[in-house]
Amino acid sequence: MLTRIDHIGIACHDLDATVEFYRTTYGFEVFHTEVNEEQGVREAMLKINETSDGGASYLQLLEPTREDSAVGKWLAKNGEGVHHIAFGTADVDGDAAGIREKGVRVLYDEPRRGSMGSRITFLHPKDCHGVLTELVTSAAVESAEH
């Protein structure tokens, strides 16, 4: 069951300048940064708030590290802006399977590693009214279950 908005992914050309904008304009501070080589992005997670299920909601700022990455291609085509929305779930595998059974294309056969050690998969935007949608099980949920 999807429990919250985990994050909203925003593609940008310059991660440092974008972080500075969100810091000075809204007072959001960086909670976590990393480079995800597999996805070809450098990212910063800005925590917005805690949630009732023990998770949090974030803005995820994404700068491509290479032009041929999914975010790099998207940025070249669309420019800076909202790239995707991510919903939190305690069971990314089960929820992805249930959504797949409803006819929505799930982009990964098996969830992959996401930000902060999470497990993620994406749903095809053409099946989600034009919105690239991510399902996320946070590392905290993963470690609590094992």
Tell me, what amino acid is at 14?
Answer: D
State the CB neighbour count (10 A cutoff) for residue 14. 12
Catalytic residue positions, numbered? 7, 43, 60, 84, 134
Tokens matching residue 116: 């902060």
* Cα–Cα dist 146/144, whole Å: 6
Which string of b and e fits 108-117 if b means at least 16 CB within 10 Å?
Answer: eeebbebbee
Tokens matching residue 12: 């940008």
3-state secondary structure (DSSP) of residue 67? coil
